[in-house]
């Protein structure tokens, strides 16, 4: 595991690491308050995972590049994972082309309809037709493998989340990054879907909304704990485990303590921070 260098051909950048709802203020400045968005670069190709408020900042960088053709993969369409889309500037240029992949059609959802329902008066002053970019919606059955040009393979598995969610494993050049959020575990029963998907992964990003102590007393709402992430990482022989989807009520001091405890329990593990870049 190394910090990325400019010529790296496989990396992940964290544009949003927070779960459930964005937060702001000096007390969350260190780890960041934007909701889920990852940018994965594979051999010069850009893949985006989730479109929470973090995608707005990524979009502001992308508009400097001219015409774009980009794949966006959604874990699911809960608001914290799609609320950045109306403010994603590359959607407002006719020169751009996007494919939006979702696996939770398995659970009776269709991504285009979900966006239409989100972008509706009086919740927002514009509807999905406001976008001038070419948007193609690809609803695939969760569990499918998706092969992209350039030898990129994306494997998927269903997660345990209200309304469904898709876990992703991105393989490129013999290395792998797994993105597993939002999911609720069952105490003492490791999720076999997740274990199969993350087996031997180089980087494993996991829904660490809670601590085990909180999980025991709070309604989990479809989320997991950083300690369960450690148990899964150990069982699957993962190289680097990254705690992600932080509770908006967990301030920087709290997250610093998680980082310390995590380092003790599984040395080399990381707590996701906005702006962090990793190469597997
Ligand atoms: Zn979420
Ligand atoms: Zn969710």
Task: Write the CATH number for 159.
Answer: 3.60.15.10
Tell me the per-residue pLDDT of 47-87, one tens digit each, with 9 for 90 and over: 999 999 999 999 999 999 988 999 999 999 999 999 999 99
State the alpha helices, DSSP H only, in 16-142: 54-62, 79-82, 111-118
CA distance 59 to 57: 5
pLDDT level of residue 107 (50, 70, 90 thresholds): low
**Percent of the chain at pLDDT exceeding 90:** 90
Cβ 78 vs Cβ 182: under 8 Å = yes
Question: What backbone phi and psi angles, to 5 degrees, belong to 105?
Answer: -60, -25
**Percent of the chain at pLDDT exceeding 70:** 95
CA distance 235 to 182: 20
Least confident of 16-30, 117-131, 224-238: 117-131
pLDDT of residue 43: 84
3 pLDDT above the threshold of 60: no
Ligand 1 centroid to Cα of residue 55, in Å, is 14
- Using a CB cutoff of 5 Å, list residues around ligand 2, an ion: 78, 182
pLDDT of residue 5: 42
3-class SS at 214? helix
Number of neighbours of residue 167 by Cβ within 10 angstroms? 28
**Nearest ligand, measured from the Cα of 244:** 1
Tell me the per-residue pLDDT of 140-190, one tens digit each, with 9 for 90 and over: 999 999 999 999 999 999 999 999 999 999 999 999 999 999 999 999 999
Ligand 1 centroid to Cα of residue 181, in Å, is 7
- Using a CB cutoff of 5 Å, list residues around ligand 1, an ion: 19, 80, 182
State the alpha helices, DSSP H only, in 84-185: 111-118
Ligand 2 centroid to Cα of residue 182, in Å, is 5
Ligand 1 centroid to Cα of residue 101, in Å, is 17
CA distance 105 to 162: 13
Token readout for 15 is 């544009």
Ligand 2 centroid to Cα of residue 84, in Å, is 15
Our measurement of the distance from residue 26's CA atom to the centroid of its chain's CA atoms, rounded to an integer in Å, reads 24
**Nearest ligand, measured from the Cα of 76:** 2
The average pLDDT across 127-145 equals: 94
Q: How is residue 75 annotated by DSSP?
A: S
Ligand 1 centroid to Cα of residue 210, in Å, is 12
pTM equals 0.95
pLDDT of residue 220: 78
4 pLDDT above the threshold of 60: no
pLDDT of residue 109: 65
Tell me the per-residue pLDDT of 202-237, one tens digit each, with 9 for 90 and over: 999 999 999 999 999 988 799 999 999 999 999 999
State which residues form the domain around 103.
2-279
CA distance 39 to 10: 11
98 pLDDT above the threshold of 50: yes
Give the side-chain half-sphere CA count within 13 A for 51. Answer: 26
Cβ 245 vs Cβ 207: under 8 Å = yes
Q: Which residue has the tokens 């976008």?
A: 131
Report the domain count for the chain.
1
pLDDT of residue 104: 74
pLDDT of residue 6: 43
Token readout for 151 is 């030898």
């Amino acid at each position: 595991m190394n910090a990325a260098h400019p010529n790296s051909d496989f990396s992940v950048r964290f544009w949003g690491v927070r779960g459930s709802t964005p937060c702001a203020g000096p007390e969350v400045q260190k780890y960041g308050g934007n909701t889920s968005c990852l940018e994965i670069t594979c051999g010069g190709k850009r893949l985006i995972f989730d479109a929470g408020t973090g995608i707005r900042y990524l979009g502001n960088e992308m508009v400097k590049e001219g015409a774009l053709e980009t794949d966006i993969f959604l874990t699911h369409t809960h608001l914290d994972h799609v609320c950045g889309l109306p403010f994603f500037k590359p959607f407002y240029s006719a020169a751009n082309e996007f494919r939006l992949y979702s696996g939770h059609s398995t659970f009776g959802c269709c991504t285009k309809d979900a966006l239409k329902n989100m972008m509706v008066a009086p919740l927002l002053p514009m509807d999905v037709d406001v976008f001038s970019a070419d948007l193609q919606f690809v609803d695939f059955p969760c569990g499918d493998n998706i092969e992209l040009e350039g030898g990129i393979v994306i494997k998927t598995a269903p997660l345990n989340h209200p309304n469904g969610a898709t876990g992703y494993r991105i393989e490129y050049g013999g290395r792998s990054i797994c993105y597993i959020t939002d999911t609720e575990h069952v105490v003492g029963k490791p999720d076999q879907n997740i274990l199969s998907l993350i087996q031997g992964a180089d980087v494993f990003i996991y829904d660490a909304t809670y601590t085990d102590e909180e999980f025991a007393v709070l309604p989990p709402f479809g989320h997991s704990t950083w300690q369960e992430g450690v148990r899964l990482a150990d069982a699957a022989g993962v190289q680097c485990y990254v705690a992600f989807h932080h509770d908006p009520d967990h301030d920087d001091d709290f997250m610093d303590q998680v980082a310390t405890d995590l380092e003790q329990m599984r040395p080399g593990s990381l707590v996701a921070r906005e702006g962090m870049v990793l190469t597997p």
